[in-house]
Structure 1
């Protein structure tokens, strides 16, 4: 099993980079994961990451992209719930890549 080297310790992740123990997540670790994904975190990225963490806390599941788009539209309006907008932030898949940075499991239905 692989690990992110963070604050002098190893934080285990699976072969795709998703944390093994989501309790080990922190905003600082998110920055390291984002860097490994070639993403420079801006407030717009954090908005999605924080939304995903809240969604996971409530439903105990990471949403697939269709659900993410629908729920982001409900909460933030059509502009931020737009699939193109989300892909501009997370080019390798807004649900997959954002969940990885948020320290959440891979969304159900993502390849």
Structure 2
């Protein structure tokens, strides 16, 4: 399994770059993961989405679908795509330190 050193912490990643231990996550790691995904800065709106993703993962064992994410996070679809371009549910899950949501390609 690949590893990466982010925010002075060695973390294990799966083959698609998702953290294998979501409990090792913190905001500093998220900032570095975001930068690797082309997001130079995490705003408060990004953090709302990341926290929602993590809460759903803790409650259900998977991240929310894009539909649920836009309906329940308080971040509309258009903004979500602007915050996490190129696949918001998958990209947000990776930055949030959780597994890839079921149904993401």
Using structure 2 for the length normalisation, give the TM-score: 0.88
Structure 2 residue 95 is the aligned partner of structure 1 residue 94: no
Cα deviation 1:13-54 (Å, max 9, x = unaligned): 012110011121111111111111111211111111011111
Q: 1:103 aligns with which of 83, 89, 97?
A: 97
The separation in 2 between residues aligned to 1:3 and 1:28, in whole angstroms, is 17
Gaps of 5+ in 2: none
Alignment match, 1:33: 33
User: How big is the shift at 1:59?
Assistant: 2.1
Find the residue that maps to 1:4 and give its secondary structure: strand
Query: Cα RMSD between the aligned structures?
Result: 1.4
Find the residue that maps to 2:85 and give its secondary structure: coil
Using structure 1 for the length normalisation, give the TM-score: 0.84
Cα deviation 1:58-106 (Å, max 9, x = unaligned): 222211211211222xxx3xxx2x2111000000211100011100100
Q: Is the 8 A contact 2:62 2:100 kept in 1?
A: no
Moved over 6 A (4+): none
